[in-house]
Structure 1
Amino acid sequence: MATQAVTQEQNNNVMLNSVEHKDLKVITDHGAQYGDNVWYALTFPVEFRSVQAHYPIFFQKDPQTGRFFSVALFGFKDRENLFLDKGQWQASYIPLAIKRQPFLIGSQKIIEDGVQKVQQVLHIDISHPRISTQQGEPLFLEFGGNTSFLDTAADMLDVIHHGLEDSEHFIDALLKFELLESFTLDVELNNGNKHQMIGFYTINEDKLKTLASASLAELHDKGYLQAIYMAIASQANIRTLLNKKNNRLEG
């Protein structure tokens, strides 16, 4: 499930090319009509520093594979994104798993020097609500070639691709040192309504405090200790979400 956010999984995802898709544009506004009404999105350690400034970072477990992955939280229930308001995303950083839409990473087999290899290529979901021929950012120049918008999207997907690979090693390290624990978050709003969030995991801070110096050094050497502290610090943003929710209900 985690990889579905950035890989070719749907029938409407096709390899992007300047002939068939020369007139395509991408709408960059934000709103529920563009699929932004999600209450969390995939994230990974490379972007934790930026994500933790705005969103709580937690972990989930894929019920099909049993693999853990990290997510940035936007709301308290399905289809609730408290950062959406009048066509704007009210935060200075948008997680790349959201920002990359409608682009995806695909793969194709090529023969190079007689050897078959798998090459990463850019795909696009042509049925995505952001796709238009009338408005938005063009993908190709009038006389051929990529626009800077498309080049930026390709760079973004490259960061995501490598970020997800690194995330797998990060999760393995968390499991090795038994640093993930399940938790339930009970939220009570000003109007008395309550929300209970289940199925999430967080860093076990007690376990972290008792790790041997050699274990901490191993995490630090891999760059994962900083990511762990970023995830812990991000939990302060639960209060930000609560304030946004209360303000929306009272407004």
Structure 2
Amino acid sequence: MTRLVALDPARHHAVHVDPVAGAAVRQFCQIGVSEIALAAADMPLFLVKDAQTGRFNLIALFGLIEPRNLFWYNDAMQLTYLPRAASLTAFRLDAGGAAGLALDEADAAVGTRGQALFAADRTPASFLETTHDALNAVVADVAAAQTLVDGYAQQRLIRPLSLVLRHADGHEHAIGGLYGLDEDALANLDDATVVAMHRADRLAPAAVIAASHAQVERLRQLHNAAGLRAIEAFTLALAE
């Protein structure tokens, strides 16, 4: 649940935000086109369908079964790169709010610890200006990723995936709603399409997204290391 309210110094003058605390409870987040190679160094990247628009969003997956970020352990984020949207989950752009922002009061990042939103005189802290600029950049970068993915959809390269986790006792847990790129379909594109995709900088991201699926194994290892119900193996393939 979210509880979005335009940022208001009278209402929020004592509020603090801890961006890492917000990221720690996220199972996934959207990423921008400039983050694809960075995020793929740690986590698998997938496509998920927006229920309202039917378009596909590009996400980085942080966890498997429990709604949490498996890279958060020993009170620290143990990864090479944290996608920017994961640390901005408490905020939305809102021209009517202080510093042009709205606050999700129900977000896990919001509390009494972390960055103060307002100074003692209730003027916006510099953290809010930085956050506004960062959120603007993320929105633009995510929109660029959406355009990239729209191109894959138009070329009919997106396919549903089947990710099934198997526990030691034989119990299976299927994670639904994930999509990926059909590598065989990519390999069979005609020369003119390949050249056009290369010039549009769509081939390299496709290769990185596909290769990132190997990071599901890292999530399995992190899951088991966290003392959760052990996952013995998994299968990830294009759905039949």
Same fold (TM over 0.5): yes
Q: Tell me the distance in 2 between the aligned counterparts of 1:125 and 1:18.
A: 15
Q: What is the aligned-residue identity percentage?
A: 25
Query: Structure 1 residue aligned with 2:67, among 71, 79, 103?
Result: 79
Q: Tell me the distance in 2 between the aligned counterparts of 1:91 and 1:145.
A: 35
Q: CA shift at 1:64, angstroms?
A: 3.2
Question: Is 2:5 aligned against 1:27?
Answer: no
Question: Match of 1:16?
Answer: 7
Task: Tell me if structure 2 keeps the 8 A contact 1:45–1:224.
Answer: no
Q: Secondary structure of 2:147's match?
A: helix
Task: Flag the 1:190–1:241 CA change in 2: closer, same or farther, 3 A.
Answer: farther
Unaligned runs of 5+ in 1: 1-8, 109-119
Q: Tell me the distance in 2 between the aligned counterparts of 1:16 and 1:87.
A: 29
Question: Match of 2:109?
Answer: 130
Q: Write the deviation string for residues 78-118 of structure 1: whole angstroms up to 9, x where unpaired.
A: 5143222243222132222221021112356xxxxxxxxxx
Task: Flag the 1:220–1:211 CA change in 2: closer, same or farther, 3 A.
Answer: same
Task: Tell me if structure 2 keeps the 8 A contact 1:190–1:246.
Answer: no
TM-score (norm 2): 0.80
Q: CA shift at 1:205, angstroms?
A: 0.5
Q: Secondary structure of 1:236's match?
A: helix
Q: CA shift at 1:75, angstroms?
A: 2.1
Tell me the amino acid that sits aligned with residue 109 of structure 2: R
Task: Flag the 1:209–1:54 CA change in 2: closer, same or farther, 3 A.
Answer: same
Question: Is 2:151 aligned against 1:169?
Answer: no
Q: CA shift at 1:29, angstroms?
A: 4.4
Q: Tell me the distance in 1 between the aligned counterparts of 2:132 and 2:32.
A: 18
Task: Tell me if structure 1 keeps the 8 A contact 2:23–2:89.
Answer: no
Q: CA shift at 1:51, angstroms?
A: 1.0
TM-score (norm 1): 0.77
Q: Secondary structure of 1:199's match?
A: coil
Tell me the amino acid that sits aligned with residue 13 of structure 1: L
Question: Is 2:62 aligned against 1:59?
Answer: no
Q: CA shift at 1:154, angstroms?
A: 1.6
Q: Tell me the distance in 2 between the aligned counterparts of 1:131 and 1:238.
A: 30
Task: Tell me if structure 1 keeps the 8 A contact 2:62–2:69.
Answer: yes
Question: Is 2:143 aligned against 1:155?
Answer: no
Q: Tell me the distance in 1 between the aligned counterparts of 2:129 and 2:80.
A: 21
Q: Tell me the distance in 1 between the aligned counterparts of 2:47 and 2:116.
A: 36
Q: Secondary structure of 2:148's match?
A: helix
Q: Tell me the distance in 2 between the aligned counterparts of 1:194 and 1:234.
A: 23
Q: CA shift at 1:223, angstroms?
A: 2.6
Task: Flag the 1:182–1:47 CA change in 2: closer, same or farther, 3 A.
Answer: same
**Coordinate RMSD, CA, aligned:** 2.8
Task: Tell me if structure 2 keeps the 8 A contact 1:38–1:78.
Answer: no
Q: Tell me the distance in 2 between the aligned counterparts of 1:181 and 1:123.
A: 36
Tell me the amino acid that sits aligned with residue 215 of structure 1: T
Q: Tell me the distance in 2 between the aligned counterparts of 1:193 and 1:65.
A: 34
Unaligned runs of 5+ in 2: 231-240
More displaced 10-residue stretch of structure 1: 170-179 or 60-69 = 60-69
Q: How many residues get paired?
A: 227
Q: CA shift at 1:155, angstroms?
A: 2.2
Q: Tell me the distance in 2 between the aligned counterparts of 1:63 and 1:20.
A: 33
